[in-house]
Amino acid sequence: MKNIYLSDSIVDLKRHILEAGERILAFGACGPENAQFHQARYKLYSIASSDVSVSDASVIAADADVLALARDVFPISCDAGVLEECRIAENLLGESNLTFGKIYRAYHGQIYQGLMEDELTWLEREGQLRSCTESTYPSAATQCCRIGYIGGGALPLPAMLLAQRLGYQVVVLDPHTRSAAFATELIAKVGLDHLVRVICVDGSKYDFSDCDLVFVSNWIADKQPLLRHLRKFTNIQYFIFRSAPRNSLGFIINDMIDPNRVCEHGFRFRYQTEKRPGLSLISLIFSLLSQSEATESTETIRRADDEPAKMATSRKRLVVDSITDLIGNTPILKLNPAKTSLTNIDLYAKLEHLNPFGSIKDRTAWAMLRPHLGTLQSSNKQLLELSSGNAARALQAVASIYGSALETITNRIRIQEMRRMLVVQGAKVSPMAGDVDPTDAMAALLYVDARAYEQRDRYLYTDQYRNPNNDCTHYATTAQEILEDLGPVDYFFAPVGTAGSSIGIGRRLREANEKLKVSGIVSTKDSAIPGIRHMDEMFYVGPFEEQKYDQLVGITASEALDGMLALIRDYGVMAGPSSGATYLAALRYLRAIDAKQTERKSAVIIVCDRVELYLSWIEQMRPALFEDYETPEAEHATVATSATLGA
């Protein structure tokens, strides 16, 4: 995160901190009407999120005036946060068609998502997280974790994210009556009340005997009573505390937890997540000391200063219990440099078309549905979505396994094979109302929103355009696989439809290499490429944010077909049109800069889906390809190769 305070000297930085803190203390009242109070508070948050050097942070942290101010400001900031969340929750509840995606994008969703993914990555590697749907046997749902979340507030977004991501039962504990009431209403309105429950109680007075994991919000001023209480519950496997990181400025507005002080209460320090750029919080993970550990010398117990053990990862699976176990973990193909004509840049293709239902949307559908499968079966609800292609196919495939079906509302299915495949799978394809312009993405989305809300007892609305699991599953899985297989990459190319995969993957890859160049591939306005939107549509749909891309590249339908045929014939990659567009755009860009490189670089494209569903589109575009080779027309059926692409 770029910050205006980074250019200041330490003296100036200290002055900014003290001025803002003193204003907070002077104004006192933290209600929403006190604009000056909140301006000072937001200023402190901005400084706290700055990525300053360790040495500068250490100097500021050693200053007695700053430390005293931080201790006084923190409890006031906690109270202000409670009131602020109530105000935001009240405004959100006033919206007629509220979805979880709207809450996520209105209130720091990416921040909480990043923290959660870091926590879950470690827990999964420890083998302590098991999805409620990992097994096909009915008893699996009774074996999955139950989570306690202490200090959820009126917008318990972290708890809702955990439920959405894992399908676990989460109980939110908050002692503020108004906050708990708003949270309960929000959770019910977005249809997560089967997974998330709110109880108005102080966490230090709750019985955690049915919880496996406990998360503790940073906004709890005095954690000592809570630590003494949590120590009683030996059934809890891990305790996750949100904390300001050491060697940063996060402490000026957040509570910095000393892990060694926590260990004095009978806990064992297990792991600390890394500080993410621009964030003022990390997570500290603890477990309880066993009886044998409690009697050991403290020298044998891991302390906070120890290096956390690195866990080996393995993604190889040969026998699975469910077809959904085969979603993800797709291979990467290094494209032959003799065909790409690249000397200094290695170009790789992430083969997402090898997912079991045939596209990258398998990941999205599974991420959106997995938390709700139990309810889907017990309530006899159908799925509702706005989709004209691969998302609908994947949703229907998963729904069929669990005894449900999809109704997709769209007027955009231009490919007959796609429509027929949906019918074969058992999906219902319903047209948009006659007064809705199908080319107006927002109008179509609002139409489906209204339908979902009016018939919420009938439908489970997956809302792919705003569901955070759309882009976040690619952040957590697709991008992570790329990093595990290749390490940091320099260039990333992906087609842009709902923008979920390009945004999610690009965000994670950029964390590994801040110099990453991200190219989003769209169609030119006069072309229709299946699976890609054109330039003008992109500003109105999904998680799309133009500033997340270094460039948006327009490709014609004819160019997309050339690229697709080159992938098929040069590499045996049975790719669809969006992948062809991406391949052509990548070659055009990389060839222009290849000779200028002074060190080896790497680039990745995404192969999103398969060619088989687009044969009628290919025939419409290039009828000569399907003519008998003995006829004169066949002479005109020339096919571009990688060598001639982009020329």
What pLDDT does 541 receive? 61
What pLDDT does 75 receive? 85
Asked if pLDDT for residue 617 goes beyond 90, the answer is yes
> Which range has highest mean pLDDT (34-38, 238-242, 436-440)?
238-242
Per-residue confidence band for 527, with pLDDT thresholds at 50, 70 and 90:
confident
Asked if pLDDT for residue 136 goes beyond 70, the answer is no
| Mean residue pLDDT across the chain | 85
What pLDDT does 32 receive? 55
State the Cα–Cα distance between residues 134 and 237, nearest whole angstrom: 20
What pLDDT does 40 receive? 80
State the Cα–Cα distance between residues 233 and 235, nearest whole angstrom: 5
What pLDDT does 311 receive? 39
In terms of C-beta distances under 8 Å and separation of at least 24 residues, what long-range contacts does 64-73 make, across chains too?
Answer: 65/14, 65/18, 66/14, 66/17, 66/18, 66/252, 69/17, 69/18, 69/21, 69/22, 69/25, 69/252, 70/21, 70/251, 70/252, 70/253, 72/21, 72/25, 73/21, 73/24, 73/25, 73/44, 73/252, 73/253
What pLDDT does 642 receive? 80
CA terminus-to-terminus distance, the chain: 39
State the Cα–Cα distance between residues 242 and 216, nearest whole angstrom: 6
What pLDDT does 138 receive? 33
361-461 matches 323-356+468-636 in CATH topology: yes
Question: Would you kindly state where each structural domain of the chain is located, as residue ranges?
Answer: 1-291, 323-356+468-636, 361-461
Domain spanning 1-291, CATH architecture:
3-Layer(aba) Sandwich (3.40)
Q: What is the DSSP letter of 382?
A: E
The distance from CA 626 to its chain's CA centroid, rounded to whole angstroms, is: 42
Q: What is the DSSP letter of 381?
A: P
Place of tokens 């047209």: 431
Residue 274 contacts by C-beta under 8 Å, 6 or more apart in sequence?
Answer: 118, 282
Convert the pLDDT of each residue in 575-608 to its tens digit. Answer: 999 999 999 999 999 999 999 999 999 999 999 9
372 and 460 Cβ atoms separated by less than 8 Å: yes
What pLDDT does 57 receive? 82
What pLDDT does 627 receive? 80
CA atoms 147, 149, 154, 160: torsion sign: negative
> Which range has highest mean pLDDT (254-263, 411-420, 510-519)?
510-519
Asked if pLDDT for residue 635 goes beyond 80, the answer is no
Q: What is the mean pLDDT of residues 596-623?
A: 95
**DSSP 3-state of 146:** strand
Q: What is the mean pLDDT of residues 31-41?
A: 71
Higher pLDDT, residue 132 or 141: 132
Asked if pLDDT for residue 646 goes beyond 80, the answer is no
Convert the pLDDT of each residue in 349-394 to its tens digit. Answer: 999 999 999 999 999 999 999 888 877 878 889 999 999 889 999 9
Characterize the bridge pairing of strands 282-288 and 267-272.
Answer: antiparallel
**DSSP 3-state of 105:** helix
Orientation of helix 64-93 relative to helix 10-27, angle to 10°: 60
Per-residue confidence band for 196, with pLDDT thresholds at 50, 70 and 90:
very high
Exposed (0-12), middle (13-18) or buried (19+): which is 436, by Cβ within 10 Å?
middle
Strands (E), 508-576: 517-523, 551-555
Asked if pLDDT for residue 618 goes beyond 90, the answer is yes
State the Cα–Cα distance between residues 270 and 253, nearest whole angstrom: 25
What pLDDT does 538 receive? 61
Convert the pLDDT of each residue in 422-479 to its tens digit. Answer: 999 999 999 888 788 766 778 888 899 889 988 988 999 999 988 888 888 999 899 9
Place of tokens 């059926």: 637
What pLDDT does 30 receive? 60
Nearest to 33 by CA among 78, 73, 79, 87: 87
Report residue 125 as tokens. Answer: 């590697």
Spatial strand order in the sheet of 491-495 = 332-334, 345-351, 601-607, 491-495, 517-523, 551-555
593 and 361 Cβ atoms separated by less than 8 Å: no
Residue 523 φ then ψ, to 5°: -90, 155
Asked if pLDDT for residue 78 goes beyond 90, the answer is no
Across 5-19, 217-231, 233-247, 597-611, least confident range: 5-19
Domain 323-356+468-636 in this protein, CATH class: alpha beta
Domain 361-461 in this protein, CATH class: alpha beta
What pLDDT does 141 receive? 36
